[in-house]
Amino acid sequence: MSYLSGRQQSIPAMTSAVRLLLARRLIVKIGSALLVDAQTGEICGPWLESLIADIVRFFSRGQQVIIVTSGAVALGSSQFNSLGRSLRIEQKQTAAAIGQVRLMLAYEQSLKRHGFALGQMLLTNEDIEDDHRRFNAWSTVQELLKLGAVPVINENDTTATAETCIGDNDQLAARVAEMANADVLVLLSDVDGLFTEDPHDNPLARLVTEVRCITPKIEAMASHSHACHSSGGMVTKLMAARIAMDAGCGMVIARGTEPYPLAAIEHGAPSTSFVPQAKRKIYTRET
């Protein structure tokens, strides 16, 4: 099911698979639920290995990939014996400090097996909102890519507060896509994409395969859905889509629970593709 209107119907459709194949630069966002085993609090090693193999394949084709990852707090929470429970702000920040080391080590080891280095970046809302700090962050990403290193970005949960945090890594990924002039943002989720209704409640719910405008009708679909179990949920994914589309960047929501999730999209796995109508913004020190 595709949601088009007016002149947009004359624009040829492009599948999620084609978007990935044609993209010059991609942002791939990975949530905690995919990366960290909820029962053990440990990294899902085989799944991460398959994802890195996917990403290495993109680099071998001359494409660039920037990873936005969650998982630090989930990995560090075991120190408080609090798996599945809420943490106080100081506990969350401590868990992030502990877990971030384990998170980056897992990425580093996996990338190293393929001959790639890792470049860690921790961002806050202030880094994104301030023109000079945003430009400096993007300059660092560019240099990492020139060196053949893979940028791996997370929010700085050790210092972020309710007033300064970006909110969730779906929106962080969209802001990174905006900053990096990316062609496609991929949000790997625990569902196939956006459905007309919650598929767990209504088996007749239909997958929306393409969205070209986020209308109140589309927003209602997200607000009624409980099928996405990440901390952000489908509502924040639509918020990310709006940021990306306004910047001229396409976005894909697809299931990431199985191994080799990016290859699955390329081979036609179900997904929702968000088509930008705006021209891509190019950020410089002055913008």
- Which among 53, 14, 80, 73 has a CA at the least distance from the CA of 271? 14
Say what angle helices 131-146 and 169-179 make with each other, to 10 degrees.
80
Q: Does residue 137 sit in helix, strand or coil? A: helix
pLDDT in tens, 106-126: 999 999 999 999 999 999 888
Answer for the pair 66, 29: CB distance below 8 angstroms, yes or no: no
Answer for the pair 27, 59: CB distance below 8 angstroms, yes or no: no
The amino acid at residue 60 is S
176: left (phi over 0), alpha (psi -120 to 50) or beta: alpha
pLDDT in tens, 121-159: 999 888 888 899 999 999 999 999 999 999 999 998 877
Q: Can you give the pLDDT at residue 159? A: 72
The amino acid at residue 148 is G
pLDDT in tens, 257-286: 999 999 999 999 999 999 997 666 655 544
Q: Which residue has the higher pLDDT, 77 or 135?
A: 135
The amino acid at residue 280 is R
Q: Can you give the pLDDT at residue 164? A: 47
pLDDT in tens, 8-21: 444 445 677 888 88
Distance CA 71, CA 137 (A): 21
Take residue 142 and report the two structure tokens written for it: 């560019």
Q: Can you give the pLDDT at residue 225? A: 55
Distance CA 173, CA 198 (A): 24
Q: What fold does the segment set 2-274 form as a domain? A: Carbamate kinase (3.40.1160)
The amino acid at residue 281 is K
Q: Can you give the pLDDT at residue 14? A: 67
Say what angle helices 169-179 and 233-246 make with each other, to 10 degrees.
10
- Which among 125, 138, 169 has a CA at the least distance from the CA of 29? 169
Domain residue ranges of the chain, discontinuous segments joined by +: 2-274
Take residue 259 and report the two structure tokens written for it: 């191994």
User: Alpha helices of 4-121 — where are they, by DSSP H?
Assistant: 16-22, 32-35, 45-60, 72-76, 89-112
pLDDT in tens, 168-209: 899 999 999 999 999 999 999 988 999 998 887 888 889 999
192 contacts: CB under 8 Å, gap ≥ 6: 207, 254, 255, 269, 270, 271, 272
Q: Does residue 188 sit in helix, strand or coil? A: strand
- Which among 69, 92, 67 has a CA at the least distance from the CA of 79? 92
Q: Can you give the pLDDT at residue 174? A: 96
The pTM of the full predicted model, rounded to 2 decimals, is 0.88
Secondary element (H or E) of residue 260: none
Kindly report the backbone phi and psi dihedral angles of residue 9, in degrees, each rounded to the nearest multiple of 5, phi listed first: -65, -20
